[in-house]
Amino acid sequence: MSGEGDAPQAIRKLRPGKLVIASHNAGKVREIEALLGPYGVQPVSAKALDLPEPEETGTTFVANAELKALQAADLSGLPALADDSGLCVEALGGEPGIFSARWAGPDRDFRVAMELVERNIAATGPHPPRDAHFVCALALAWPDGHVEWFEGRVDGTLVWPPRGDKGFGYDPMFVPNGHEQTFGEMDPDAKHAISHRADAFRQLVAAVF
């Protein structure tokens, strides 16, 4: 999906070579590197290039992914891929949503974030629904300002207490539909096969490679 105007445009292909991963989240960078491994690109993280983290002022996952990717592409002179993702909880009206990382506080402590989610769910009343979904928006930007974006989703339910020490973020409290393990308990390959990020990456790979 092109980020340039409303007129239909051909998807721009990504050539082999260096690709900036516009994230300072080590867990997210590892997942993206694993997903991109087979496609001839050479991922390099924004942190490794000492690129700043922009303020996420967008009101949607796509908008935040685009601004991160555009800044990284502009500053590095290389194509850049950014991910904006989060947990949307039905009982909380879709929160934390685009503020998922902010709920973890300045230290990015997701144990704190998960406890906050659980407390807020409990405060909605007895037997609240525990349905939730993860969203991942990917934006691929070039130094000339061209952007392609893709959005993936996975539905599930929340458990408490959290289970597992794999994955990152809210993974230990999220059980995807049709499974018994949380994302925090799953081996990375199993998670990559079904996650919101994998869904978005399938779309990206089909379009740009």
The string of pLDDT tens digits covering residues 114-163 is: 999 999 999 999 999 999 999 999 999 999 999 999 999 999 999 999 99
Active-site residues: which are they? 84
Q: Is 132 helix (H, G, I), strand (E, B) or coil?
A: strand
Residue 32 has pLDDT above 90, yes or no: no
Residue 159 counted as domain residue: yes
Residue 9 lies in a domain: no
Determine the structural domain holding residue 121 and report its residue range: 17-208
- When pLDDT is averaged across residues 88-113 and rounded to a whole number, the result is 96
Q: How far is CA 170 from CA 58, 88, 146, 164, in A?
A: 21, 11, 32, 11
CA dist 46 and 71 (Å) reads 10
Q: With b meaning 16 or more CB within 10 Å and e meaning fewer, what string describes 142-179? A: beeebbbbbbbebebbbeeebbeebbbbbbbbbbbeee
Distance CA 141, CA 68 (A): 9
Average pLDDT rounded to a whole number, residues 189-201? 92
What is the model's pLDDT at position 7? 38
| CATH number of the domain residue 174 falls in | 3.90.950.10
Query: Do the domain assignments include residue 8?
Result: no
In a domain, residue 1? The reply is no
Average pLDDT on 41-69 reads: 93
Q: Is residue 5 part of a domain?
A: no
The total domain count for the chain is 1
List the one residue out of 137, 125, 31, 55 whose CA is nearest residue 88.
137
Whether 10 is in a domain gets the answer: no
> What is the average pLDDT value for the chain, to the nearest integer?
92
Residue 10 has pLDDT above 80, yes or no: no
Interval 100-113 mean pLDDT? 95
Tell whether 191 is covered by a domain. yes
User: Would the pLDDT of 37 be above 90?
Assistant: no
pTM equals 0.87
- Asked, for residue 11, whether it belongs to a domain, the answer is no
Q: What pLDDT is attached to residue 63? A: 97
